[in-house]
Amino acid sequence: MLQRSGRMLGFALGMTGAAALVAGVSSAAMAEFQPQKPIEFVVMAGKGGGADKAVRFLQSIMAKENLASVPVIPVNKGGGSGAEALVYMKGKTGDDHTIMFTLNSFYTTPLRQPELGVDITTFTPVMRMAEDTFCLWVNVESGIDNIDGFVKAAKAKGKDWIMAGTGKASEDNLLTDYLNTAYGLEMKYVPYKGGGAVAKELAGKNADSTVNNPSEQEPFFKVGDASNKTKPIACFTPEPIYEGVPTFKDQGKDFVYFMQRSVVGAPGMSAEAAAYYQDLFTRVFNAKDWQAYRVKQKLQGDPLSGDALMAYWKKENEVHRGMLKEMGEIK
Amino acid sequence: MMEIISLLGHGFVVALQPLNLVLIIVGCAFGLFIGAMPGLGSVNGVAILLPLTFLVPPDGAIIFLCAIYYGAMYGGAISSIMLGIPGASTAVATTFDGRPLAKQGLADKALTAAAVASFVGGSISVVLFTFFAPPLAHIALTFGSQETFALMLLAFATFVGLGGDDIAKTIFSICIGLVLAAVGLDIITGRPRLIFGDISGFMHGINFLVLAIGIYGIGEMLWTVEENAKAGGKSMLSEAVITVDRIKNNVIELMGTWKTMLMGSLLGYFVGILPAAGATPGSLMAYGFAKQMSKHPETFGKGNIEGVVAPETANNAASTGSMLPMMTLGIPGSPTTAILLGGMVIWGLEPGPRLFTSNPDFVWGLIASLYVANLFALILNILFIPAFIWVLKMPFTILAPIILTLCLVGGYAPTQDMHDVWLMLIFGLVGYLMRKLDYPVAPAVLAIVLGPLTEPALRQSLLISGGDPMTFFYRPYSGPIMVIALILLLLPALPPLYRMVTGSGKKKASDSA
Amino acid sequence: MGWRLAGSLAISGRPFIGQKTMTVRTAELLMGLVMAVLSAYFMWKSAELPIFWVKGVGPGGGAWPFWLSAAMLASTIWILFKWVRRVGPVATNEDPLFEPGMFTPVAMVALALTGCIALVEGIGIGGFKGIGFYGALPLFIFFYLKVIGSHTWVSTITTAIVVPVLTFVFFEVLLQISLPKGMTEPLFLPIFAFIYSL
């Protein structure tokens, strides 16, 4: 089990030599970066989850439009709510062929586990591809039509009201805590492994509500169909995303929450490589398929890259620090 | 009924289009190959080829991916039987009897049985799928964590008799498997857990494959090296012959196992439908039930053909079953179907009951292609058997390093972390020594497969019920399953208890590894 | 097919110290003790999270592994108890754990495998970053075929080249799973350049 430290140690020493060799092979590449080998696209989640599906979709766009000269290969490092992926990226410091697809665990995991020694401001900002949205969902048979009805029903059930969500101290948990505080509720948060499982628990009436992403819950939201088992009550967005479904802002609670879907480069990536990936993902962002996917999955958020993305991270990091403190997860 | 048949006929028209037919055959062959490699399974095949499917129309694409899924299910049995290494968790139970058969020089019999059983399981389940899809999907939807836990308990219960006679060592083996399964992250508190030595490689937990390839791959090779040295370097990995006559006789012999096949198919199908379960518990339970139903349970684990037939029918039936919640509800029953689901969304198809009305071409084309894929997978598999037999005839000292190479890259591939290769080596060495000391290793492998499904279900249920353990008995589905599981668990505990009281240390009867 | 080194190594058939050969009974004791210590370590490690029933929640985060490790410990104590009382076929078995000449071949394969894995990424000694799978595998296969298997040079070298090449084609090209390459990485860049220019 020495290989971990071995890798770290060996890496720093070896990088200098490898860099010299690479430079010898292609001195022209220093001016304008071109990938020399397959690009590793690290996913902070396991195979088959929401982030994984998005990465494989991005990969397929790159393959279809022939945007990259080498294959872009998804590598799943889903361990420890993204901790494994973050530590892995830290170990890849200075690597020009490793990028990562991140979620909000990019902020929460290093905050909750300072012992990882991960500083997200050292990572290379590439491109924010979207911001995923959240809504409050209930089962159609619950008879709840609006937020007042929801609050009434949840208050009546007290601690027996089950809110299903993805993982502890995750986005879903933060939103649940917010609702509990804002409306004086005592909903019980039950963590499940993925958004798909959460959606199913609500549809099968094993949970009373969820704060799922539309992309995860929508298979059970089809008005006028037998699969219409769940419905949105209100959304955590600035503008309504479903007709007739208000936002929490409309309800007098000034609260908006998104999940970032961004591409991050390894810490210490060369400026040329960072420019290459920024350009690559700008083209992916503008691809017809990605635009269609954004509409379909109810994704929002303009593209952000470079310093603007870093500024966004710093801002969001502080927001999450505050939320986790309130939750009692960190001091 | 007539309507379904005419829709299915239309589906065959779609499936038998030249392009789709080619895709089915190529997909089956590729899947067979991927499935036969230790460490790689249908998840890898489907995930890797997903982007390529943009080159063909959506119905062709999903047919291709499903053919890979199917082919891999067939292929998983190949490495289980020939090398004793389960390539995927769904093929674990196949090693229990498939490997002993191969060692007795009956690899062809086991391979034929696996192929035919897979075909039967696949076919029966496709028929069930054709006629009973939507109503079953709705039952599956109501399954919550309580039901999942009850089902897992039932899976454990069917395996009570799997260990050796030494109860202490069997308990030890189950417990270490369950503890290793708990490494990584505690889902309920979101806290890292059992990160030994703060090594980041433990964060992703201990993959079942690392333990399985370690014990069954490396451990088994060391075992064979020793046997080989004992035999003066003469023994082959397995003796093997193949003739047309033998295949014919094998198939005829299989007719006698129809009951097991039917049981495996039905069990596999129904367990496969349940969103959380998937094919692995299905195949394990089918093996356990086949053993308990058998008139000669003591021959299981020593090369009983029914021990190959039961899990193989069940895992194929379950793989069809797990497509049901995917298509009708949009819930994946396994990581592979999750990726298939992602594919469907990418291609602009919306899973759900509406899919049956809005894209009948797609749905029925897919169902028909499952029939066709089954047939081709069977044919390909039978055709490849001579090639596999030829491989087994290579000198051991050439085959051994090749198999060990497969183990090394197979241990690396799922997580792409050398940490897991080191762990695999440790499991292999320790597993080998434990086996020499009559520790049963199969229970540990089963436990590490079922553990990650069991513990979260237990904790979620208790969290929901506010800590009331009776929650498992109050619900309409979990209640009866719990009762059956508890009865099964307690029944076999009586004779060993009796033996223990009388204090006899009888010779260990079976070695399921 | 001979174990060529078998005769030349003094430890042949006598694992561990000196001239005394370890019996199955002794091995059973050692394994029981090691596993008891391991179980205790698992219990200690599990206790980082709550191990008792949390009111209204059910078992704490460390409870599942803790109590299962406790069961592991209990079963090792049971095994050791049976060892002391000389109950069961293993605890009473005074045969050597390895029959004469059996230890060396097994140990050689185990060591070759360990060496091969250590070479892939290095083990952190001297900043050696390993020679990758494609460097270590040919060496391992060469050692196995030539030294352990006493095969001819032709079949040894053919296998040592063909297996890694097939591995490369299958994993890197077909499946797009990259295996670690360590310091051999630069050698692969022209190969990748060639493949992706196709």
Please indicate whether, in this complex, the C-beta atoms of C72 and B422 are within 8 angstroms of each other: no
Q: Are residues A268 and A122 in the same domain?
A: yes
Least CA distance to B335: which residue of chain A?
A: A48
pLDDT for residue A256 is more than 70: yes
Q: Are residues A152 and A70 in the same domain?
A: no
| Residues A93, A74 within the same domain | yes
In chain C, the percentage of residues whose pLDDT exceeds 70 is 90
Mean pLDDT of A218-245: 86
pLDDT, one tens digit per residue, over B406-433 is 999 989 988 889 999 999 999 999 999 9
The per-residue pLDDT for A193 is 82
| Region for A261 from its dihedrals, namely left if φ exceeds 0, alpha if ψ lies in -120 to 50, beta otherwise | beta
How many other C-beta atoms can be found within 10 angstroms of the C-beta atom of residue A292?
11
**Long-range CB contacts for residues B321-324, cutoff 8 Å, separation at least 24:** B321/B125, B321/B128, B321/B129, B321/B268, B321/B269, B321/B270, B321/B271, B321/B272, B321/B273, B321/B282, B322/B272, B322/B273, B322/B278, B322/B279, B323/B66, B323/B129, B323/B370, B324/B129, B324/B133, B324/B136, B324/B137, B324/B140, B324/B272, B324/B273
Q: What residues contact residue C110 under an 8 Å CB cut-off, 6+ apart?
A: B222, B429
* pLDDT tier for residue A25 given thresholds of 50, 70 and 90: very low
Q: Would you state the pLDDT for residue B236?
A: 55
What digits encode the pLDDT tens for the residues A264-304?
Answer: 999 999 999 999 999 999 999 999 989 998 998 889 999 99
Question: Can you tell me the distance from the alpha carbon of B338 to that of B344, in angstroms, rounded to the nearest whole number?
Answer: 10
- How many other CB atoms sit within 10 Å of the CB of residue B466? 14
Total count of domains within chain C: 2
**Chains A and B: how many Cβ contacts under 8 Å?**
163
Q: Mark whether C77 and C145 lie in a shared domain.
A: no
Q: What would the two tokens of residue B181 be?
A: 């399964």
State the pLDDT at residue B34: 87
Strand, helix or coil for residue A26: coil
User: C74 and C120 share a domain?
Assistant: no
Greater confidence (B339 vs A278) lies with A278
pLDDT-derived band at B513 (thresholds 50, 70, 90) equals: very low
Domain co-membership, C79 together with C108? no
Asked if residue C130 has pLDDT above 60, the reply is yes
Q: What percent of chain C clears pLDDT 90, i.e. is strictly above it?
A: 60
Residues A76-111 pLDDT 10s: 888 888 888 999 999 999 999 999 999 999 999 999
Please tell me which of A113-122, B103-112, B386-395 the model is most confident about, judged by mean pLDDT. Answer: A113-122
Of A200, A235, A270, the residue at which a domain comes to its end is A235
Q: Are residues A128 and A265 in the same domain?
A: yes
- Check residue B277 and give its pLDDT: 65
Q: Is 60 exceeded by the pLDDT of residue B67?
A: yes
Lowest mean pLDDT segment, chosen from A52-66, A146-160, C108-122: A52-66
Mutate to test the interface with B, among A97, A188, A206 (most CBs of B within 10 A): A206
Residue A5: CB atoms within 10 Å:
12
Partner residue facing B505 (CB), from C69, C89, C99? C89
Query: Distance between CA atoms of A169 and B481, rounded to whole angstroms?
Result: 33
User: Is B229–C101 a contact, with Cβ atoms under 8 angstroms apart?
Assistant: yes
Distance CA B160, CA B155 (A): 9
* Chain B residues within an 8 Å CB radius of A52: 339, 342
Of C73, C32, C91, residue with least CA distance to B508: C91
Residue at A287 is within a domain: yes
Average pLDDT over residues C18-42: 89
**Which one of B54-58, B493-497, C64-68, C170-174 scores highest in mean pLDDT?**
C64-68
Give the mean pLDDT of chain A.
86
Given an 8 Å threshold on Cβ–Cβ distance, is B335 in contact with A222? no
C13 Cα to chain A: minimum distance (Å): 29
Please report the pLDDT score of residue C67 as a whole number. Answer: 96
Residue of C42, C64, C117 with shortest CB distance to B455 = C64
Q: Does the beta-carbon distance from A204 to B187 stay under 8 Å?
A: no
Residue C142 contacts A where some CB pair is shorter than 8 Å = no
Output the pLDDT for position C12: 40
Which residue in chain A has the smallest CA separation from B421? A1
Query: Same domain, yes or no, for C179 and C109?
Result: yes
* pLDDT of residue A30 exceeding 70: no
| CB nearest C192 (choices: A3, A11, A37) | A37
Asked if the model's pLDDT at residue A9 lies above 60, the reply is: no
pLDDT at A3: 39
For C99-128, what is the mean pLDDT? 88
Inter-chain contact A63–B51, Cβ cutoff 8 Å? yes
Supply the range of the domain harboring residue A103: 37-132+258-327
The alpha carbon of residue B413 is apart from the nearest alpha carbon of chain C, in Å, by 7
Tokens representing A21 are 């060799």
CATH number, domain with residue A312: 3.40.190.150
In this complex, which of C55, C68, C105 lies closest to B178 when CB atoms are compared? C68
Residue B164 has pLDDT above 70, yes or no: no
In a domain, A292, yes or no: yes
B57 pLDDT band, cuts 50/70/90, is confident
Candidate from B54, B416, B422 with C-beta closest to A63: B54
pLDDT of res. C47: 94
Q: Which residues span the domain enclosing C130?
A: 103-197
Cβ–Cβ contact C198 with A under 8 A: no
Residue C180 lies in a domain: yes
Q: How many domains does chain A have?
A: 2
- Are C98 and B233 within 8 A, CB to CB? no
Query: Which residue in A has a C-alpha nearest to residue C126's C-alpha?
Result: A10
Report pLDDT for A35: 92
Q: Is residue C137, in this structure, part of any structural domain at all?
A: yes
Q: Which residue of B has its CA nearest to A195?
A: B331
> Residue B163 region, left (φ>0) first, then alpha (ψ -120 to 50), else beta?
beta
B311 or B354, which is more confident = B311
Q: Are residues A166 and A97 in the same domain?
A: no
Q: What percent of chain A has pLDDT over 70?
A: 89
- Give B421 or B190, the one with higher predicted confidence: B421
Cβ-Cβ contacts under 8 Å, B182 against chain C = 46, 64-65, 68
Tell me the per-residue pLDDT of A101-110, one tens digit each, with 9 for 90 and over.
999 999 999 9
Q: So what's the pLDDT on residue B85?
A: 87
Test A190 with B463 for CB contact under 8 angstroms: yes
Q: Of B221, B395, B418, which is closest to C120 when you measure between CB atoms?
A: B418
What value does the mean pLDDT of chain B take?
84
Across the interface, of C45, C55, C89, the residue whose CB is closest to B507 is C89
| CA separation for the pair A263, A129 (Å, rounded) | 7
Q: Which residue has the higher pLDDT, A40 or A12?
A: A40
What is the rounded average pLDDT of the residues C62-71? 96
Residues C138 and C172 in one domain: yes
Q: What does the buried/exposed string (b/e) look like for B336-350 if buried means 16 or more CB atoms within 10 Å of the residue's CB?
A: bbbbbbbbbbbeebb
CA distance to partner chain A, nearest, from residue B332 (Å): 8
Centroid of chain to Cα A300: 13
Whether B289 has a pLDDT exceeding 90, the answer reads no
Cβ-nearest to C189 among A10, A14, A37 = A37
Does any domain span residue C94?
Answer: no
C108 and C79 inside one domain: no
When mean pLDDT is compared across A200-204, B54-58, B486-490, the lowest value belongs to: B54-58
Is C97 close to B401, i.e. CB distance below 8 A? Answer: no
Q: Exposure pattern of B435-454 as b/e (b: 16+ CB <10 Å)?
A: bbbbbbbbbbbbbbbbbbbb
Alpha helices, H only, B393-510? 396-412, 418-436, 442-464, 471-474, 478-490, 494-502
Cα separations in angstroms, A223 against A133, A228, A231, B273? 20, 6, 9, 25
pLDDT in tens, B475-506: 988 999 999 889 888 876 676 666 666 665 44
Are C134 and C190 found together in one domain?
yes
Cα–Cα distance for residue pair B472/B462, rounded to 1 Å: 9
Report d(CA A38, CA B484) in Å as an integer.
52
Q: Are the Cβ atoms of C141 and B405 closer than 8 angstroms?
A: yes
The residues spanned by each domain of chain B are 9-502
Given a contact as 3+ CB pairs under 8 Å, which chains touch A?
B, C
Position A3 in a domain: no
Residues from chain B contacting residue C56 (CB–CB below 8 Å)? 466-467
CATH of the domain at A227: 3.40.190.10
Share of chain B above pLDDT 70, in %: 90
Q: Which of A195-209, B351-365, B435-449, C61-75 ranks highest by mean pLDDT?
A: C61-75
Banded pLDDT at C24 (limits 50, 70, 90): very high
Quick check: B232 pLDDT over 70? no
Beta-carbon separation of C129 and A14 below 8 A: yes
- Quote ipTM for the complex: 0.89
CA-wise closest residue to B342 among B334, C33, B196, B182: B334
Cβ pairs A/C, distance under 8 A: 66
Q: Is the pLDDT of residue B234 over 80?
A: no
Residue C14 inside a domain? The answer is: no
Mean pLDDT of all residues in chain C? 86
Mutate to test the interface with C, among B34, B152, B169 (most CBs of C within 10 A): B169
List, in sequence order, the alpha helices (H) in chain A: 3-25, 50-64, 83-91, 105-112, 147-157, 171-183, 195-203, 214-217, 271-286, 288-296, 306-327
